[in-house]
Amino acid sequence: MYNTMKSAPTYIFEASEKPSLPLHPVPLIEATAQSLEGYGRLVDDADGFEIEITRWPAQGWRPVDDGTGDEGGGVEGIFHGEWRGDVLMGRNEAVDGEYVLGWSCDPQRASAERATVARDQVLLWHMNYHPYGGQLFFPLERKPFVVPVALPGDDLKPQDVVAFWCDGSKGLYIHPNIWHEGIFPVEDRQRFLDRQGRVHARVSCDIGQEFGVYLCVPLRAYLPQSGSLSCPENL
């Protein structure tokens, strides 16, 4: 059921192709059963965990026949999050996609050769959601990671976005239609088992283009006892 596919677009470009923009700070929240309500859930064991599959929507008043429209199943593979200098890259083997996820500093100053600033945050330019199915990210190295998300609805706004800090002991599952981006490793690189719908329908929002800001997602400023923290101001 969960084999790989070859379909995803690739989003690779030089950081200098993106402009300098103001930053919108994203709150960082500890991922718990309570804080994840509406977004998804923590997963103890990926073996046997089934993602949700959404039935193909009816085009008019006639309903989709029972037992049809949700037979595509899922795919799985390894999702790689890796820093290359100031640039955070993502590679998803499940859908054969490769992406620039963001930068640790202004893209006009970001270097792909070496880290010029501390990797304490990700400046995020893009988010997307999958209407066909949910998505599981399960860490193969049990290290902390961060995931930016927002609740469903095409009228996405920067203030709708939060980021969940996961300690790496469990996986993170998000429901269909949840806005998200690739997984952000807190350290230099990290691998995840990725399980998602075979129909790789993807609805995107270019945050910088639509709102004139980048989302500033903190990686290291989280203190569990504080409840949440926003992105550091010193970039």
pLDDT tens profile 135-173: 999 999 999 999 999 999 999 999 999 999 999 999 999
Other beta carbons within 10 Å of 234: 8
CA-based nearest residue to 102, from 137, 128, 127: 127
Instruction: Please determine, for residue 191, whether its predicted confidence score (pLDDT) is greater than 90.
Output: yes
User: What is the rounded distance in angstroms from the CA atom of residue 180 to the CA atom of residue 192?
Assistant: 15
What is the mean predicted confidence (pLDDT) over 114-128?
Answer: 95
CA-based nearest residue to 4, from 97, 81, 96, 79: 96
Domains, in order of start, for the chain: 15-55+66-229 (2.60.120.480)
Q: What is the pTM of this model?
A: 0.89
Is-contact 54 132, C-beta < 8 A? Answer: yes
